[in-house]
Amino acid sequence: MLNVSQIIQKSSNIGTVKIALQMTPQDMWEMFTTVGFGQQPKIGFPGAVAGRVRPFKNWRPIEQATMSYGHGITVSLIQLAKAYMIFARDGDLIPLSFTKVAQPPAGQQVIARKTALEMRAMLESVVSPEGTAPQAQVPGYRVGGKTGTALKVIGGRYVNKYVASFVGFAPASNPRIIVAVMVDEPTAYGHYGGVVAAPVFAAITANALRAMNVAPDSTVTRIVIPDNPLQESL
């Protein structure tokens, strides 16, 4: 029996489904749409796409179950990054922008600050040696995030090709950046997000934090990667 933290740490689809089915379809759909899934990002960029989230009234239980771990919906990388804002900003969600602003725009409190802090701690466990993304660790900094590995849809059906991802934030004690990495059809080192995308996240995050002169928030300078890291479910 896994608790919620372990479900996230070990990327358990079964555990995720059990949590999702305790929600009504409408509540789940409203959370998807609140964070921006199924809606075109208002960033003034012509390539931004809405993705796809079907109306909740048409959901069958099996569809609600599989959507909880990413099957049956489509989202862009920038939509995923925006969704993680609620964890990094203590539950607050602000509009996206490609230009620097003097003052952050007014946001929307999507989840309670206490919930956001609890989720940050759970997402930190994902990058531990016991999680699915130990290769996302950044020496000197606490980071958190989540792996993703999905089958691609081509011509309306799933094919034996993959998209690997890792989305995370740093420093976990007071997040300054969110980094989202997606690798389309990885061919080297396997196809899991924790193996393919997490190391890219670590490299980008380490360089970005140094460039921003962000003070370290961890005394750990040596990362530990198991010989056989845990792989997330598909």
Give yes or no for residue 20 having a pLDDT over 70.
yes
Residue 73 is predicted with a pLDDT of 92
Give mean pLDDT, residues 9-20: 96
Q: Which CATH architecture has domain 4-211?
A: 3-Layer(aba) Sandwich (3.40)
Calculate the CA dihedral of residues 202, 203, 209, 213 and round it to 10 degrees: 140
Q: What is the pLDDT of residues 61-106, one digit of tens each?
A: 999 999 999 988 999 999 999 999 999 999 999 999 888 888 888 8
Alpha helices in the chain (DSSP H): 4-9, 13-20, 25-34, 61-67, 77-83, 85-88, 113-126, 193-196, 198-211
Q: Are 182 and 224 in contact (CB under 8 A)?
A: no
- Per the prediction, the chain carries an average pLDDT of 93
Domain ranges of the chain: 4-211
Give yes or no for residue 149 having a pLDDT over 80.
yes
